[in-house]
Amino acid sequence: MSEKKTKGKKEKKERAEKKRVILLRGAPGSGKSTYVKKNFPDAFVCSADHYFERSGVYEFDPTKLGFAHGYCKHNFLQALIEGEPVVIVDNTNLRRREFAYYAKTAKEYGYKVYQKILRGEYANTHGVPPHKVEQMRTRLQSAPEISEMP
């Protein structure tokens, strides 16, 4: 094999190894968005919350939650198609069915999938009552088939 072909294969492999999707998992107020800002300020972030943000103001409407998740999935797929090197899904992702689409689609596009479970207890910016947040914490399902983000 020529040196040029070997170098091309090596570069392609290195790019593929850098392509990763990180599924953030945790109840509201667990530190997901803060984690992204601190550790991945340049990553492409998909979040259902973005659907509810208008001119920097968050206005949640539970009747539009389905649209918000559709919006998030659309942006996620677009990021993969465009080859964004790091794509983060910043949703609660508590149950397998909530993140299955992201994990499956990422793998289909050649991305390595990681999860980061956050368990902090900060004031949530969404106005979710404390008793509801506690209920959500109990719904976190394990996903040993997805690597933990170091």
Q: Can you give the residue range of the structural domain that contains 93?
A: 14-148
- Assigned domain for 7 exists: no
Q: What is the DSSP secondary-structure string of 42-108?
A: TSEEE-GGGGGEETTEE---GGGHHHHHHHHHHHHHHHHHTT-SEEEEES---SHHHHHHHHHHHHH
- The answer on pLDDT for 87 being more than 80 is yes
Q: Give yes or no for residue 143 having a pLDDT over 60.
A: yes
Note whether residue 100 is domain-resident.
Answer: yes
What does the mean pLDDT of the chain come to?
88
Domain membership of residue 55 (yes or no) is yes
What pLDDT does residue 43 have? 98
Look at residue 1 and tell me if it is in a domain: no
Question: Is residue 31 domain-resident?
Answer: yes
Domain containing residue 38: CATH number? 3.40.50.300
pLDDT of residue 13 exceeding 80, the answer is: no
Considering its fold, how many domains does the chain have in total? 1
